[in-house]
């Protein structure tokens, strides 16, 4: 599974000219899920839903970043209860207690293997470790912005903890196997050399440039990434063009593999209004959802929201989130078992994908909102499989 960042379906699979490899090569080879949705804004809540079926806390809904809603620190989830549908009730916090299970825990219990491959993790050891890289519990996350290349860190460091869902569960970070299972992306090539060394479940997070988060993709001065690349869909497309052929050439993929390419959430649209010498810029996220998605027990008074990022006599910039969903992002599936060029208009979201993977792997039960029996699963979609 490859997760990219912050792009709307209408751009990625429509108007954009920055991703020709994804649009013109991969989509015709695989299945396009036109109605695939993120589950929240602004980032971390999506990753957590993919892995555990959990909805946000007042901290994870804002990436556990200082200055927004919540404490802004890498702290334990303050659990006060559990709902009947398996959702943690919490007043805040980022790291879930060890009794909150993840897909990784389910796979381990089934004697199946898994590994998270993280772009740039450990490039700067002063920020994070090269394996199982996360902040000190109770401290600030040092990875919220990318670090440019320097003499001390020649490659720079654009790893972001908030895009690594494994780091938010004590069941994973407290285990000695975390250092084996959450590693730098550089290890993937060697792991793919044989079926025996390829994990049953692979989760890939590119760095902040290669996932399209940073930069606008144009290559214009001042509009790119900290490492000098253009970012946006341009860099995301280049990442796919490098890695997808490597994965598809592997024995494990040829035997019975499937690649999922999607985005964590949609992007904002911008509106600008001027009056009395002051300009107001609004970054608007609709927060649309699908699939009977529920907001969870912890978002009362948090969504919808308007956060003022800049407030000067001449400029106001507002961050506006209207709903609790993550908007329409789309997804592409590639597999020897997928009908090339197929299109599915069935609605899916990250909870649907988790439920689909739990079914494929035959693990015990469905986690959190993935236990919703009304969710569609990709294995039942006859329009896309041979």
| Closest-CA residue to 264 (of 30, 39, 102, 56) | 39
Say what the pLDDT of residue 66 is.
73
Question: Is residue 296 pLDDT above 90, yes or no?
Answer: yes
pLDDT in tens, 71-84: 678 999 999 999 99
Residue 239: band (very low, low, confident or very high) from pLDDT cuts 50, 70, 90: very high
Report pLDDT digits (tens) over 178-231. Answer: 999 999 999 999 999 999 999 999 999 999 999 999 999 999 999 999 999 999
Q: What is the pLDDT of residues 167-184, one digit of tens each?
A: 999 999 999 999 999 999
pTM for this model (two decimals): 0.97
335-378 pLDDT, tens digit per residue, is: 999 999 999 999 999 999 999 999 999 999 999 999 999 999 99
The mean pLDDT of 277-295, rounded to a whole number, is 98
Catalogue all structural domains in the chain, each as residue range(s) with its CATH number. 2-31+42-268+333-380 (3.40.720)
d(CA 73, CA 135): 9
Rounded CA gap, 155 and 208, in Å?
Answer: 13
- Quick check: 70 pLDDT over 70? no
Inter-residue long-range contacts of 337-340, CB under 8 Å, 24+ positions, other chains counted:
337/256, 337/258, 337/385, 337/386, 338/30, 338/31, 338/258, 338/384, 338/385, 338/386, 339/31, 339/383, 339/384, 339/385, 339/386, 340/28, 340/29, 340/30
> How confident is the model over 280-299, as a mean pLDDT?
98
Burial (CB count <10 Å: 0-12, 13-18, 19+), residue 144 = middle
Burial pattern 272-311, b for ≥16 Cβ within 10 A else e, equals eeeeeeeebbbbebbbbbbbebbbbbbbeebbebeeeeee
Whole-number Å distance between alpha carbons of 230 and 72: 29
Would you say residue 164 has pLDDT above 70? yes
What's the N-to-C CA distance of the chain in angstroms? Answer: 20
The confidence score (pLDDT) of residue 68 equals: 58
pLDDT in the model for residue 65: 85
């Amino acid at each position: 599974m490859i997760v990219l960042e912050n792009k709307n379906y209408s751009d990625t699979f429509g108007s954009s000219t920055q991703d020709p490899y994804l649009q013109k090569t991969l989509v015709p080879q695989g299945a396009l899920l036109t109605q695939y949705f993120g589950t929240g804004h602004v980032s971390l809540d999506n990753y957590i839903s993919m892995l555990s079926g959990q909805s946000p806390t007042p901290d994870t809904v804002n990436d556990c970043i200082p200055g927004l809603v919540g404490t802004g620190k890498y702290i334990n989830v303050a659990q006060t209860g559990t709902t009947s549908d398996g959702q943690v009730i919490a007043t805040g916090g980022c790291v879930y207690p060890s009794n909150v299970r993840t897909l990784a825990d389910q796979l381990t219990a089934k004697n199946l293997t898994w590994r998270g491959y993280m772009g740039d993790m450990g490039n700067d050891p002063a920020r994070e470790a090269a394996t199982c890289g996360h902040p000190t519990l109770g401290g600030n996350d040092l990875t919220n912005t990318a670090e440019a290349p320097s003499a001390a860190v020649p490659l720079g460091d654009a790893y972001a903890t908030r895009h690594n869902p494994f780091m938010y569960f004590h069941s994973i970070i407290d285990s000695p196997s975390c250092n084996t299972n959450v590693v730098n992306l550089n290890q993937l090539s060697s792991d793919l050399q044989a079926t025996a060394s390829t994990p049953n479940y692979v989760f890939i997070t590119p760095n902040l440039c290669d996932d399209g988060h940073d930069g606008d993709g144009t290559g214009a001065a001042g509009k790119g990434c900290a490492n000098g690349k253009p970012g946006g869909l341009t860099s995301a497309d280049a990442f796919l063009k490098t890695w997808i052929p490597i994965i598809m050439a592997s024995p494990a993929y040829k035997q019975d593999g499937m690649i999922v390419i999607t985005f964590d959430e949609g992007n904002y649209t911008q509106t600008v209004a001027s009056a009395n010498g002051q300009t107001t810029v609004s970054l608007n996220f609709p927060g649309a959802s699908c699939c009977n998605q529920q907001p969870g027990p912890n978002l009362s008074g948090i969504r919808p929201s308007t956060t003022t990022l800049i407030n000067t006599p001449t400029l106001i910039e507002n961050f506006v989130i209207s709903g609790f969903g993550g908007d329409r992002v789309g997804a592409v599936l590639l597999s020897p078992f997928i009908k090339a060029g197929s299109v599915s208009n069935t609605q899916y979201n990250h909870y649907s994908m988790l439920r689909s993977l739990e079914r494929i792997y035959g693990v015990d039960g469905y986690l959190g909102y993935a236990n919703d029996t009304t969710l569609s699963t990709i294995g039942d979609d006859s329009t896309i499989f041979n």
